Amino acid sequence: MRILLVEDDRRVTAVMTSMLQRRGYEVEHAATATAALAAAPCDLVLLDLNLPDGDGVDVCRTLRARNEHLGIIAVTARGEERDRVTGLRVGADDYVVKPFSMAELQARIEALLRRAARHVPPREAVEVGGLKIDHAARTVELHGRPVSLTRKEFDILASLARQPGVAVTRERILLDVWQTTWSGRHTLEVHVASLRAKLDEPNLVQTVRGVGYRLRTD
């Protein structure tokens, strides 16, 4: 699971990064609004609203507009009711006021990820290039040719098809398909290799080095 930590305070960054890494998360850090908006794809953002080069509210609004499924937790010293309401209205899924308990933050992260795994509804059918995925019927066609997939292979393809053309992290796929971020990367790689062989178009599911996979759109 890849987390983007947007925080300009070095001490807070060091403590939170250590805590998150001990719990198995991969952490990318951004100290400014500019860096946050330029960061690589991730599964969840912990967002300080007080940033040296901009307002975190604007960052939150932009990230939400880019990806409706991205988990965002505002982690900030702004504790007034109007601040909390604004943060939630512009797209944050949750709001934590500093100082906070690491145990509480961890619990909120886990709760958000569980909700995301349960409630991202697949579209009934997706067509990408010559690929057609029917979620309701759980069938796949490539250029009109039926492709027989196992349950896991179908779920991996469906996870990628939620955001065609967008890099999806390995951890996100593991959560979608296996409902865990347990580090079963070898298992995922084996299933992706089998999926590519059955599609008989190896470059359709592209590897994004250091991140995960992407469904080609052309």
Closest CA to 9 of 35, 28, 30, 27: 30
Per-residue confidence (pLDDT) for residue 177, from 0 to 100: 84
Q: Tens-digit pLDDT profile for the chain (218 aa)?
A: 789 999 999 999 999 999 888 877 889 999 999 999 999 888 899 999 999 999 999 999 999 988 887 889 999 998 888 998 898 989 999 999 988 888 888 888 888 877 766 555 555 788 887 899 998 888 999 999 999 999 999 999 998 988 888 888 887 788 778 766 555 668 889 999 999 999 988 789 999 887 889 999 87
Question: What is 126-215's CATH number, 1.10.10.10, 1.10.3720.10, 3.40.50.280, 3.40.50.2300?
Answer: 1.10.10.10
Distance CA 175, CA 113 (A): 8
**125 backbone dihedrals φ, ψ, rounded to 5°:** -150, 145
How many angstroms separate the Cα of 14 from the Cα of each of 56, 95, 136, 176? Answer: 20, 20, 45, 30
Question: What is 2-115's CATH number, 3.20.20.20, 3.90.950.10, 3.30.2400.10, 3.40.50.2300?
Answer: 3.40.50.2300
Q: Where in the chain is the domain with CATH 1.10.10.10?
A: 126-215
Distance CA 166, CA 186 (A): 22
Q: Strand (E) positions, 48-93?
A: 50-51, 54-55, 71-76
